[in-house]
A and B are shown apart, each in its own frame.
Chain A
Amino acid sequence: GQQLNQSPQSMFIQEGEDVSMNCTSSSIFNTWLWYKQEPGEGPVLLIALYKAGELTSNGRLTAQFGITRKDSFLNISASIPSDVGIYFCAGHYGGATNKLIFGTGTLLAVQP
């Protein structure tokens, strides 16, 4: 099935560092979502973006919906050990085509 290209594939950082990851697609999406998944759990929604150019924050997390509607990025500031997990972007077509397609994921490891 279709996948979104997400980079980097993995990141190993020190506590306190800032993190940036992005997602690109050949398709236009109506909505971009960012999820975090921890081992043995389902993905948890972090941020939802609904308009091209939109910049939204959730605590230390900031995400933007690209102007072309084909990309998005997520920044995490001042990382802490509990930020560890896999971060997925997801694009939603919306309307009658109710499909949420996931990016390939970014594994984040934070060293105290």
Chain B
Amino acid sequence: DTEVTQTPKHLVMGMTNKKSLKCEQHMGHRAMYWYKQKAKKPPELMFVYSYEKLSINESVPSRFSPECPNSSLLNLHLHALQPEDSALYLCASSQGGTAGYTFGSGTRLTVV
């Protein structure tokens, strides 16, 4: 299995809702990542997990809460989002070091 699987593919949520994005990989990768991508812009790093521990938080607002329950799963919990948080949220994994990242297809999030 050489894929990163993200669910759901699309999500519409209100500003008072709580929702979660899920990411799964079975490549044995020890590092997992969340990126945010606005239309026609490059992906921007949000969080890095290494060996299931949060190692980098790129000053992301607390309404985004990451969680790594085990080495194969990565969640992003969403609460009280704003319309400007609407974007494509990408999950990626890697072996660590300088290895290339494998990306999922993303979750298209719309906040209304």
Chain B: interface residue count, which band? 20 to 34
Which of B12-20, B38-46, B69-77, B79-87 makes up part of the contact surface? B38-46
Tell yes or no: A102 within 8 A of B by CB.
yes
**Per a CB cutoff under 8 Å, which of A35, A41, A102, A105 touches B106?**
A41
**Cβ–Cβ contact A45 & B101, under 8 A:** yes
Size of A's binding interface in residues, CB under 8 A: 26
Contacts of B7 in A (CB 8 A): none
Question: How many residue pairs between the two chains, A and B, have CB atoms under 8 Å in the bound complex?
Answer: 63
Residue of B nearest to A95 (CB): B97
Within B48-64, the residues touching A (CB, 8 Å) are 48, 50, 55-56, 58
Q: For the complex, is B31 an interface residue (Cβ under 8 Å from A)? A: yes
Contact flag A100-B102 (CB < 8 Å), given A1-B58, A94-B97:
no
How near does chain B come to A48, taking the closest CB pair, in angstroms?
5
Question: Which chain A residues (23-81) contact chain B, with CB distance < 8 Å?
Answer: 30-31, 33, 35, 40-45, 48, 50
Chain B positions near chain A (C-beta within 8 angstroms): 4, 31, 33, 40-45, 48, 50, 55-56, 58, 90, 92, 94, 96-106, 108
